[in-house]
Chains A and B, each alone.
Chain A
């Protein structure tokens, strides 16, 4: 088991370098320039051929996880300014991953209580112990600077309007003020496959003409036709969008549109966002997952991020109990009301105070 993980970790690093070097430098907006490599490069040596299912499709089935990447920053951190993904590898990457692991450990001091009051995540969220098996310094593959492209003027205007609409509302005036993730409804797409503190398992099942992806966190399931058919009518909008797949060689390409405003990724325009995922099984225990976001109403150019999904039979999907006893939302709201009563009480004593902030984003949401 240990040797398998070590081999896997080494392979992940090689893959990270290979994937990064496969990125085509982009400078413009034309379709050909926007395209990133559909087929991730494989490590040196004989090309590994993905096994085929009886009906001929590449076999992607299995239980996968990306828990090893939960310490990976989404964009390139400023400390790596001027460097690309392929520049950060080997011993340097190993040291970076070790420090990320150490930081998580040192912040996870709630093991039976912490006299210093530095409360962190409880230890039963054990996905945080495998950060040294991560594969990369950051997620954004393209643009090569590792940064999400700038917002368009229209997107900035749209975001400003949303903020204006929320003006005057508290963080927990109603359940509507909490995120859909807080409310155990959805993490959306591709948010459902972003590594977080726990629940980082995914199951892929296949049948002729269909691929099914099940997510442990929130327990959503996408049933993706791979028959090359058209998207649903634009009037039909879903939290996970409308997904249609096809095969490009060994790669499953899934194009998702028809999002909803309240769950669309990174406040993109739900009417124009297109999410294109590429799943390429590059070794017996690894799928290269990369995601291209295109939305001319939100970003000045398309962009791509990626990470490996590592097959691990010990990481099968388990029951998802979003809120212990289903009490969290009631407690969040009642705590907010208690804060308000406290503010009023202090005001009567002549003390000016404000309601304490309650973060709107659920833990690890990005």
Chain B
């Protein structure tokens, strides 16, 4: 009996270790840090001029662990800090959004990039209706690029790493 329990615990621990290492292998700890918005370098492309309804944070503070990515940005009312926590286990989480709307996010590593799909939903006359926007976080050296996509429109937001 004791041997069976030991084998179970050992197997579970091994699985956990494998899973965690897999997550880190996929992830990018370089995403962590404080990032300052570079308005001059940021550009838009594709259909339309930008992705509406998503204010740009002037500064982002990002924390990365094996299980989640936390993003703080001054996108709230009067520049208040809003915190979005993106789970990396494939689950959907609630994140800040306009009052009266349900705003959720689902995140996953795509190699070294973090892809976050944000969905905003509200009830219209024919039932719930919503829109999906995807943010892909890419780090190159001391530059963070967030590619924000709605349909055929991709808006590039550039952030520079803030010197510590």
Which residues in A have some Cβ–Cβ distance to B below 8 Å?
2, 79, 95-96, 98-99, 101-103, 105-107, 109-118, 120, 123, 126, 129
Contact = CB atoms under 8 A, between A and B. Distances in A.
Contact of B77 (A102, A110, A116, A120): A116
6 tightest Cβ-Cβ pairs between the two chains A and B: A111-B100, A99-B151, A106-B53, A102-B131, A109-B98, A115-B77
Given A105-B130, A106-B120, A112-B99, A99 B53 contact: no
A117 B98 CA distance: 9
Contact of B52 (A95, A103, A123): A103
A1 to B, nearest CB: 9
Nearest to B152: A99
Given A102-B133, A126-B125, 20 more contacts: A96-B47, A99-B151, A101-B131, A102-B131, A102-B151, A105-B131, A106-B133, A106-B150, A109-B98, A111-B99, A113-B99, A114-B99, A115-B76, A115-B82, A116-B75, A116-B77, A116-B98, A118-B53, A120-B53, A129-B126
Contacts of A106: 51-54, 120, 131, 133, 150
8 contacts: A99-B48, A99-B151, A106-B150, A111-B122, A115-B96, A118-B53, A118-B55, A126-B124
Contacts of A123: 100, 122, 124
A126 B126 CA distance: 10
B112 to A, nearest CB: 28
B41 interface: no
A4 B153 CA distance: 31
A33 B101 CA distance: 53
Contacts of B76: 115-116
A99 B124 contact: no
A115 B99 contact: yes
B131 A117 contact: no
A111 B124 CA distance: 11
B129 A129 contact: yes
B124 A109 contact: no
A102 B98 CA distance: 15
A327 to B, nearest CB: 26
Nearest to A120: B53
B120 A112 contact: no
B47 A79 contact: yes
Contacts of B130: 105
